[in-house]
Amino acid sequence: MNPSHATALLSLGNSLRQAGYRFMTVTPSTHRRINCRPGNERALDLRGIFGWSRPFAPDLLPPRMLALMREAGIVKEEGSLLRSTLRVSTLGEQLLFHSAYPTDADDSVFFGPDTYRFVGTMERAFPWLGSGPTRAVDIGCGGGAAAITIAHKFPHAEVIGTDVNEKALALAAVNGRLARTANLALRRSDLFDGLEGDFDLIVSNPPYILDEDERPYRHGGGERGAEISRRIVEEGLERLRPGGSLMLYTGVAISGPDDHFLDSVRALLERACGNWHYEELDPDIFGGQLGEPGYEEVERIAAVWLHAVKR
């Protein structure tokens, strides 16, 4: 994204805010069902364009807003209609740009119900941080939802958002400017490889699905999708300052009564942490994934939360 694209996207975001735009992003399956309802074939308002990713007639938008979309390079032509290549979602009072539905491309920037659960649970854990961190990092920040939330809550902190996806970092930069954050920096990094120093707050909502196409925003690696999550715990505790917090939201493929992800990190948590808490936030997410290769023995995918405080 070049500077003129970013400037136009920022202006578009401010225009949407002034217009009172709000949209809560749903799961892909719900999105598909809603868009298949009669009458939803094309957009009739701003939510249809920027939320539901529906094609729209050029005269539906104010000329200035359409000009900003073209200047930002986010308009795709479909015959006589147009379609936005980005969505805009509401998170609290913030608006965040992310990829349009469906998110099929390798460099898609995902935002959805997982984002709301992750950020909401993280915010509820903030009271445990006292006066807050002085140096925090969001590993795999995507469009920057968590990093921006931390930067707003703790304006004295140095907050870093990292991702391997350059498109994600570009959108996070725009979203950070749209949210008026002054203490957010963005870095390209594969987990902790591109980072120096240690932290007193590490948060992450990594990919955790077994994806045949191994799309980076979705594929969690081996161990039934838990490899990246396990690495974040192992490498994160090494980079965490004493008394610092690691907060991880992820999904775990579960067969029978055992949680193999928790079993893989329990000994390390007991050894390195003075206090840690692990819970299932939702026992059954992405149920449709269970019919995909690699999930033959899996009974459910659970959304889990880990908050560990280093000894």
| 218 three-class SS | coil
- For residues 134 and 73, membership in a common domain is answered with no
Distance between CA 221 and CA 209 in Å, rounded?
8
Q: Is residue 238 part of a domain?
A: yes
Q: Token pair of 268, please?
A: 């390390």
Q: What angle do CA 59, 103, 110 make, to 5 degrees?
A: 100
Name beta bridge partners: 2. Answer: none
| Residues of the chain scoring pLDDT < 50 | none
Query: Which residues span the domain enclosing 63?
Result: 3-99
- For residues 94 and 143, membership in a common domain is answered with no
- Total domain count for the chain? 2
- For residues 234 and 304, membership in a common domain is answered with yes
Q: Is residue 106 part of a domain?
A: no
Amino acid at 15: S
Q: Indicate which CATH number applies to the domain containing 118.
A: 3.40.50.150
Given this model, what pLDDT does residue 213 score?
85
- For residues 188 and 290, membership in a common domain is answered with yes
Q: Is residue 152 part of a domain?
A: yes
- For residues 48 and 124, membership in a common domain is answered with no
Among 67, 99, 131, the domain boundary falls at 99
Name beta bridge partners: 187. Answer: 162
Q: Is residue 108 part of a domain?
A: no
DSSP state of 203: E
- For residues 189 and 250, membership in a common domain is answered with yes
Among 99, 121, 145, the domain boundary falls at 99
Q: Is residue 104 part of a domain?
A: no
| 164 close to 190: Cβ distance less than 8 angstroms | yes
- For residues 171 and 288, membership in a common domain is answered with yes
| 215 close to 106: Cβ distance less than 8 angstroms | yes
| 223 close to 265: Cβ distance less than 8 angstroms | no
Q: Is residue 105 part of a domain?
A: no
Given this model, what pLDDT does residue 114 score?
97
Give me the half-sphere count of Cα atoms (radius 13 Å) on the Cβ side of residue 269: 22
| 26 close to 53: Cβ distance less than 8 angstroms | no
**Residue-wise pLDDT tens digits, 264-302:** 999 999 999 999 999 999 999 999 999 999 999 999 999
Element holding 262 (H helix, E strand): helix 260-272
Given this model, what pLDDT does residue 263 score?
97
| 226 close to 260: Cβ distance less than 8 angstroms | yes
- For residues 291 and 157, membership in a common domain is answered with yes
Distance between CA 296 and CA 153 in Å, rounded?
43
| 146 close to 175: Cβ distance less than 8 angstroms | no
| 278 three-class SS | strand
- For residues 180 and 282, membership in a common domain is answered with yes
**Residue-wise pLDDT tens digits, 234-271:** 999 999 999 999 999 999 999 999 999 999 999 999 99
- For residues 170 and 58, membership in a common domain is answered with no
- For residues 171 and 220, membership in a common domain is answered with yes
Q: Is residue 188 part of a domain?
A: yes
- For residues 54 and 174, membership in a common domain is answered with no
Among 55, 77, 99, the domain boundary falls at 99
| 305 close to 259: Cβ distance less than 8 angstroms | no
DSSP 32-91: HHHHTSTT-SS--SHHHHHTS---B-GGGS-HHHHHHHHHHT-EEEETTEEEESEEEEEE
